[in-house]
Structure 1
Amino acid sequence: MRFLVVGAGALGGYFGGRLLEAGRDVTFLLRPRRAAQLAKTGLVVQSPFGNLQLPAPRHVLADGIDGPYDVVIAGSKAYDLESTMDSFAPAVGPNTVILPLLNGMKHIDSLVARFGEDKVLGGLCMISATLDDEGRVLHLNDTHGLSYGERAGGRSARIDAIAAQFAGARFDGNASETISQDMWEKWVFIASAAGLTSLMRASIGDIMAAGGEDVALSIFGECCAIAEHNGFAPRPAAVQRGRAIMTAAGSPMTASMYKDIVRGAPVEADHIVGDLLGRAAPGHAAAPSVLRTAYVHLKAYEAQRARTAG
């Protein structure tokens, strides 16, 4: 089975590297700058589960794709999705499946519109990783899960084939029969944490120290209600886990969107928060709420950033 991993950043570099380590047929789709960097340093992964040093991993540039691949693994930022789809389109053949690892659900609509309903699996990953200034993949926590499945549910031959390839690789692969539910539950949590910590410009622990437990529970409850309105009410275990994380005293946790704001980077405001608001019950998206306030805050940041750049 031929895998095309789009990019060798934090996600692609980690999971693609682990598949290469396990002897799988992996090619990275790279931009010229990252290709030049890997030619010098190789793919370096530093992780609690074992470090990797993979010299000169096989790669292609967008204009060098040599035909269809069996699986395309894509984990770009949402604001890069259009150009990302353009780059890997030549790799999508009649039997190719696309495994996206973005948060939210809007990207699914875009991928289906471009490549067709049957081409797009559901997927998510649970990992904290980043690239350092030297291009090394730094795995920052003790989880490295990758879940995937048919969006309509159940199991299929192509999911079984992917599961066989993931078996033996050093990450926790999970062939889920409820991947759409899993994706919605992650979206609820990501939107809550991103909205809250970005709005407050503070960690969960600092927000709790300021007496903000009710605010944290309000935004989480709003996100749960939107998921329920769409037929994906979070399961009790997900609700319990989310509430505990969102109100943990002393927690240093901040969402990656908050970190992007701090360094003046683009944010996925529309994809993570705006799209969720857009799927709310009629009237909710325009009503005053913590989630809507967080969204306006994010859009104001984007406006300020655009003005500064101009």
Structure 2
Amino acid sequence: MRALILGAGAVGGYYGGRLVEAGADVTFFVREARARLLAEHGLRIESALGGARLDVRTACDRQALAPFDLVILSCKAYDLDDALETIAGAVGPQTGVLSLLNGLVHLDRIAARFPRATVFGGVARISATLGGDGIVRHFGVLNRIDFGARDGGADARLEALRDFFARTPVDARLSAEIEQELWDKFVFLATLAGITTLMRASVGTVLATPAGETLILRLLAECEDIARAEGHAPAPEKFADFRAELTRPGSPLKASMLRDMERGGPTEGEHILGDMLARAQRAGVAAPVLEIAATNVRAYEASRASAG
């Protein structure tokens, strides 16, 4: 199986590097500067589960791409349109596209752009970063990835992906219920992003205020109601996990969306909060805290746009 990974950053670089370790036929589509760095130093991973320095194959010219068996997307949602144009030459009728983006709305956009390809759902659970020195640094030991066909059916490409990961430290799971996995992460992330961007603070800091826990749980309940209206409410034990994680005193947890705002960059606000709110409105589900959180990020994006 020939796989193309768009980018060699924190997520794509880590999971792609582990696939290379296992002997998979992987090509990374990267910018020329990143390609030069990879050619000179290799793909470097630092992790408590084992570091690596890997010689990898790269591509930089989107016009020269030919169809692959599998294309893996791990970009930010605000880069999706450019990403889809970048990989267009790599996607043929027999290609599978595995998305590791947060949320759900991107799956329909990918399917609309490549109607003859097969779009798979994926959820990456990892804390990693790409350093200025080009090293992918993995924090902690969590490095789970779930993927599957949206209809729950079997697919030889996903089975091959699972088998390659089985030779690595990655906790890879081929799921027959990937839609529910995507919804579970969507509910948790919309709550986390909504409350931490609205308050410009970590979960622990919000909890230290008199009404902090009440607001977090109201937002979590709203997102759960929306998921239930769409037929994908989290299981009770999953919801209990979310509640525990979002009400842990002193927690430093904050959404990457807040970090994007803190550095003045673009956010996935519309992709996560905007889409969740749109689903609430279509279903007639009241979501006042979510509406305020989405408006907050929309106002931030409008200010960025007016400032050029």
Decide: shared fold, TM above 0.5.
yes
Unpaired runs of 5+ residues, structure 2, are: none
Which one-letter code corresponds to 2:2 in the other structure? R
1:99–1:35 distance in 2 versus 1, CA, 3 Å: same
Contact 2:92 2:117 in 1 (8 A): no
Asked if residue 218 in structure 1 is aligned to residue 218 in structure 2, the reply is: yes
Q: 2:243 and 2:113 mapped to 1: Cα distance?
A: 37
Q: 1:199 and 1:46 mapped to 2: Cα distance?
A: 34
1:25–1:157 distance in 2 versus 1, CA, 3 Å: closer
Normalized per residue, which structure has more strand?
2
Q: What are the within-5 Å matches in structure 2 for residues 178-193 of structure 1?
A: 178-193=177-192
1:283–1:99 distance in 2 versus 1, CA, 3 Å: closer
Report % sequence identity.
45
Deviations 1:29-62 (A, max 9, x none): 112232233233321111111111124x110113
Asked if residue 245 in structure 1 is aligned to residue 245 in structure 2, the reply is: yes
User: How much has 1:261 moved relative to structure 2?
Assistant: 0.9
User: How much has 1:136 moved relative to structure 2?
Assistant: 1.5
User: How much has 1:114 moved relative to structure 2?
Assistant: 0.9
Deviations 1:216-240 (A, max 9, x none): 0011111111111111111112101
Deviates more, 1:256-265 or 1:130-139: 130-139
Count of residue pairs the alignment pairs up: 307
Q: 1:190 and 1:129 mapped to 2: Cα distance?
A: 17
User: How much has 1:79 moved relative to structure 2?
Assistant: 0.9
Contact 1:122 1:148 in 2 (8 A): yes
Deviations 1:274-306 (A, max 9, x none): 011111154757x66111111111011111222
1:122 counterpart residue number: 121
Q: 1:117 and 1:271 mapped to 2: Cα distance?
A: 24
Deviations 1:163-211 (A, max 9, x none): 2233212211100010000000001101110111111111111111113
Contact 1:27 1:59 in 2 (8 A): yes
Q: What are the within-5 Å matches in structure 2 for residues 1-310 of structure 1?
A: 1-55=1-55, 57-63=56-62, 65-116=64-115, 119-211=118-210, 212-282=212-282, 284=284, 289-308=288-307, 310=308
Moved over 6 A (4+): none
Contact 1:62 1:88 in 2 (8 A): no
Which one-letter code corresponds to 1:293 in the other structure? I
Deviations 1:114-136 (A, max 9, x none): 11275101111101111122221
Which one-letter code corresponds to 1:13 in the other structure? G
- The alignment partner of 2:147 has SS state of strand
TM-score between both structures, scaled by the size of structure 1: 0.94
Which one-letter code corresponds to 2:71 in the other structure? V
Contact 1:226 1:281 in 2 (8 A): no
Contact 2:195 2:293 in 1 (8 A): yes
Unpaired runs of 5+ residues, structure 1, are: none
Which one-letter code corresponds to 2:260 in the other structure? D
Deviations 1:71-99 (A, max 9, x none): 10111111111110111111112211011
1:288–1:163 distance in 2 versus 1, CA, 3 Å: closer
TM-score between both structures, scaled by the size of structure 2: 0.95
